Amino acid sequence: MDNTCSDNTAVELTRLLRRINDGLSPQILRKEARKLISKVTSKDIARAEQNLINKGITAQVAGELSSIFVLLGILEQQGKSVKDQIPKNHILRRIFAEHELLRCFLVEFQELVETINKMPTMRNTSVEFMRLSHIVEHFNAMDEHIEREEDVIFPFLKKHGWESLYKSSHNDHVYIKIAINDLIRLIGGYKSRKLKDFKVRINSISKYLCSTLSEHMFQEDNILYPIALKVIDSDVLWEKIKEVCNDIGYCGVHL
């Protein structure tokens, strides 16, 4: 693609991102995104984001808008999920399965927090506290999941120009790990006589962690990994990635 065509595509994309920001009908936007996504490169997205920044939109919002564009275009173009398009032994199926497992734990975690909020007393030997500790252990086991993404898959995205997408997921990982570490410290230092304070803290952490982690996994399933499949266009390379992931380990299987 010559520079003139690329510049025109970046300008066209900039206009669409501004329309997304204005809140136009998703149905119209998805059709436009579908037409545009086949010719857009990572350089076009970077240029469009910079165009928005030059017009006073923050870098964070510009990055979010480009992610929405990719999501709209891919969903309209695919017709079916990424999981339905990959072999049963593909490493991404393992990652998607871990996401589903984590979603189950998130639901259980939210329900348990609601139960604890209604309890007048709770000891660290109670069934509710033991269940809570078990769930948090599974959250803590996300380290291997995150390590595989950061060390094995993300470098390919960065190499092929998807810098904003890589940074967005990396930043999510940082804050998710902070929230999980806060949970671990909260449970490790629990004293039944301070149940009221415990409820305040766990409500705050739960609200942040559940919303952030749910949105993060949605973005990875529907934006990051569809792009990774296009960028890493080699079965042999995916097999090598799988070998490295096997060495790192998998989320929660050792518990």
Residue among 42, 62, 55, 15 nearest 156 (CA): 42
CB 213 within 8 A of CB 145: no
Q: What does the pLDDT look like over 179-220, one tens digit per residue?
A: 999 999 999 999 888 899 999 999 999 999 999 999 888 878
Q: What does the pLDDT look like over 146-175, one tens digit per residue?
A: 888 888 888 877 777 676 667 778 888 999
> Given this model, what pLDDT does residue 63 score?
77
Residue 206: inside a domain = yes
Residue 254: inside a domain = no
- Choosing from 56, 79, 102, the residue where a domain stops is 79
| Its pTM surpasses 0.85 | no
Residues 6 or more apart whose Cβ sits within 8 Å of residue 33 = 16, 69, 72, 73, 76
Using the predicted structure, report yes or no on whether residue 12 has a pLDDT greater than 50: yes
**Same domain for 183 and 137:** yes
Residue 88 is classified by DSSP as T
**Same domain for 72 and 98:** no
Residue among 188, 187, 175 nearest 142 (CA): 175
> Given this model, what pLDDT does residue 80 score?
52
Residue 97, phi-psi category: left (phi > 0), alpha (psi -120 to 50), beta (remainder): alpha
Residue 103: inside a domain = yes
- Choosing from 12, 47, 79, the residue where a domain stops is 79
- Choosing from 28, 47, 79, the residue where a domain stops is 79
Domains in the chain, number: 2
Domain holding 36, by residue range, is 3-79
Q: Which of 5-9, 186-190, 225-229 has the lowest mean pLDDT?
A: 5-9
Mean pLDDT across the chain: 82
**Same domain for 93 and 69:** no
CB 49 within 8 A of CB 66: yes
**Same domain for 239 and 121:** yes
> Given this model, what pLDDT does residue 223 score?
75
Q: By three-state DSSP, how is residue 219 classified?
A: helix
Query: pLDDT class for 89, splitting at 50, 70, 90?
Result: confident
**Same domain for 123 and 54:** no
Which tokens sit at 47?
A: 């240029």
CATH of the domain at 192: 1.20.120.520
**Same domain for 32 and 151:** no
